[in-house]
């Protein structure tokens, strides 16, 4: 294998709680109510701008998505720049890939500035050739096109690439794109059985993943 496509949130960094907390704080500030599990189900496959759009539409808010974004982004940015930790084994695994001459990139629904900030702090940014962001590219990991675009930019064939992911829908898209898929998954996840069916490998973190 020559190319490694890394998801960011939940795969390289422990940050999923940051976005969930941001939505909870937004609901509290605007006095909105929604069942937490329903919110997870509805919003899980969306990039954050889409989550904000959905909130505006669902609750018929007289606010723009930009205004909602401004309400939460300062705290999110602080956590990415100062507090968010790597997934166990992430830095060491990226270093092993780098020493093995692997081509690496990040494929994320997150935006580029936050991605750059957290990966620079954690020492992984320089190993990545580029960051392909849903927010900047307009692509989504709900379809194979985003993985295909990352593969194209690396100049490799799909069967030469590995996608490391924690979201089931993104794993399915990466498989459709022709990638070997390594899942980072909690065995207590409600999707765990399906993740085991879809992915080529399943690990709890990156400590025991081998460079192929």
Cα-based angle 168, 174, 179 (whole degrees, multiple of 5): 130
Per residue in 25-70, pLDDT (tens digit) is 899 999 999 988 888 888 877 878 888 999 999 999 999 999 998 9
Residue 195 has pLDDT above 80, yes or no: yes
Q: What is the distance between the alpha carbons of residues 153 and 1, in angstroms, rounded to a whole number?
A: 16
Per residue in 67-95, pLDDT (tens digit) is 998 998 888 999 999 999 999 999 999 99
Question: Is the CB of residue 94 less than 8 Å from the CB of residue 126?
Answer: no
pTM here is 0.90
Nearest-CA neighbor of 6 among 44, 122, 192, 197? 122
Mean of pLDDT over the chain: 94
Please report how many Cα atoms fall inside a 13 Å half-sphere around the Cα of residue 133, on the Cβ side.
13
């Amino acid at each position: 294998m020559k190319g490694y496509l890394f998801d960011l949130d939940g795969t390289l960094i422990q940050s999923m709680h940051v976005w969930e907390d941001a939505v909870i704080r937004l609901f509290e500030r605007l006095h909105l109510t929604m069942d937490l599990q329903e919110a997870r189900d509805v919003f899980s496959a969306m990039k954050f701008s889409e989550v904000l759009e959905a909130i505006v539409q669902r609750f018929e808010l007289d606010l723009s998505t930009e205004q909602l974004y401004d309400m939460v982004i300062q705290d999110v940015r602080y956590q990415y720049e100062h507090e968010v930790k790597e997934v166990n084994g992430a830095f060491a695994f990226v270093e092993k890939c780098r020493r093995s001459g692997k081509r690496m990139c990040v494929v994320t629904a997150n935006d580029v500035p936050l991605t750059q900030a957290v990966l620079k702090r954690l020492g992984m940014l320089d190993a990545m050739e580029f960051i392909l962001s849903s927010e900047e590219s307009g692509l989504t990991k709900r379809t194979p096109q985003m993985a295909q675009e990352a593969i194209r930019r690396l100049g490799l064939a799909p069967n030469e690439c590995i996608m490391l992911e924690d979201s089931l829908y993104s794993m399915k898209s990466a498989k459709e794109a022709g990638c070997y898929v390594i899942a980072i998954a909690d065995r207590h996840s409600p999707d765990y059985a399906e993740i085991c069916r879809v992915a080529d490998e399943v690990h709890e973190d990156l400590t025991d993943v081998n460079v192929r």
